[in-house]
């Protein structure tokens, strides 16, 4: 099978719906195991921080959620670009669930950050470059969702959402580098691509498990959202009718 053939097959909603049904149990099991293990390990067994005490444990939710909020934006923008250039149906359908997921994850990271900020910094919120750019990310996700409903024509809605998603990609490196480029209240990154993490291994290992768990959760939730979107948009096609008919009997 050549790459183009594979690309076209991936673009078929029907093929994706049937194939993803087989991946779901595995993905769900991996998500459950990683998240439960990471939470029990991180919240129950990892040592407390010397300065922050137990409040540092919010990192096990905050950092994975923020990671996926940023990575998920690229998922949405790349899906938008593929939809714009190749008119691939599946990519167009992926944007909407990716936007909802991304908005939820961004909200979780902002909310947990505020909860942590009060005992640590002494305030829930401060308008520094990191927090403000993260809030912009939240509004970008909401904008993509809003554009989805703003047009009666589905094509126009998809195109507008994709353009906004692409414009917003510029915000991702800004969020990531904001703590290095400007003076912020938010501390610089603990986990770096090129250096060892500035965190004790006993605290870092459960964080890695949680990040992997969040990646699996993201994939699982995106696939579930995409399957729902496929069924909704293809509801008049024969294969969906047959599928529903079979289920009803």
Partner 1 sequence: MHPVRRQRLLAVVFIVVAASVAAALLAYALRQNMNLFYTPSQVAGGEAPAGTRIRVGGMVVEGSLERASEDLKASFLLTDGAARVPVTYAGILPDLFAEGEAAVATGELGPEGRFIASQVLAKHDENYTPPEVADAMEKAMGKARESSQ
Q: CA-to-CA distance for 94 and 204, rounded, in angstroms? A: 32
> Whole-number minimum distance, CB 237 to partner 1, in Å?
26
Which CB, 183 or 249, lies closer to partner 1?
183
Which CB, 14 or 89, lies closer to partner 1?
89
Q: Which residues contact 80 (CB under 8 A, 6 or more apart)?
A: 91, 95, 161, 162, 163, 165, 166
Which CB, 75 or 230, lies closer to partner 1?
75
Which CB, 47 or 245, lies closer to partner 1?
47
> Whole-number minimum distance, CB 203 to partner 1, in Å?
5
Task: Please give the DSSP secondary-structure letter assigned to residue 88.
Answer: -
> Whole-number minimum distance, CB 163 to partner 1, in Å?
6
Q: CA-to-CA distance for 244 and 238, rounded, in angstroms? A: 10
Helix or strand run (H / E) with residue 46: none
Q: Which two structure tokens, joined as six digits, stand for 4?
A: 């183009």
> Whole-number minimum distance, CB 174 to partner 1, in Å?
7
- Which residues contribute to the site for partner 1 (CB under 8 A)? 47-52, 56, 59, 81, 84-86, 119-123, 126-129, 163, 166-171, 174, 181-185, 187-190, 198-200, 202-204
Which CB, 31 or 178, lies closer to partner 1?
178
Supply the angle between the helices 3-10 and 13-39 in degrees, to the nearest 10.
80
Q: How many CB atoms lie within 10 A of CB 246?
A: 8
Give the CA distances from residue 9 to residues 102, 132, 221, in Å, rounded to whole numbers and listed in that order.
Answer: 27, 41, 22
> Whole-number minimum distance, CB 197 to partner 1, in Å?
9
Neighbouring-strand partners of residue 53: 49
> Whole-number minimum distance, CB 135 to partner 1, in Å?
14
Which CB, 180 or 242, lies closer to partner 1?
180
């Amino acid at each position: 099978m050549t790459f183009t053939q594979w690309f076209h097959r991936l673009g078929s909603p029907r093929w994706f719906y049937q194939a993803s049904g087989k991946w779901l149990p595995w993905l769900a099991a991996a998500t459950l195991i990683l998240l439960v293990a990471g939470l029990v390990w991180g919240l129950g067994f990892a040592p407390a921080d010397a300065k922050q005490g137990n409040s540092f444990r919010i990192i096990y939710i905050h950092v994975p959620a923020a990671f996926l909020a940023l990575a998920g934006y690229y998922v949405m923008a790349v899906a938008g670009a593929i939809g714009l250039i190749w008119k691939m149906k599946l990519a167009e359908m992926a944007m909407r669930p990716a936007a909802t997921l991304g908005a939820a994850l961004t909200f979780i990271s902002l909310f947990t950050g505020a909860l942590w900020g009060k005992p640590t910094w002494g305030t829930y919120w401060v308008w520094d470059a990191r927090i403000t750019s993260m809030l912009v990310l939240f509004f970008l996700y909401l904008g993509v969702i809003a554009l989805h409903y703003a047009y009666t024509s589905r094509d126009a809605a998809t195109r507008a959402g994709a353009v906004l998603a692409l414009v917003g990609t510029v915000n991702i490196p800004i969020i990531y580098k904001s703590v290095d480029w400007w003076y912020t209240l938010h501390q610089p990154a603990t986990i770096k691509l090129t250096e060892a993490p500035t965190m004790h291994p006993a605290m870092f290992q459960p964080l890695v498990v949680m990040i992997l768990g969040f990646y699996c959760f993201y994939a699982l939730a995106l696939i579930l959202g995409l399957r729902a979107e496929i069924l909704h948009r293809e509801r008049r096609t024969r294969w969906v009718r047959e599928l529903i008919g079979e289920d009803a009997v």
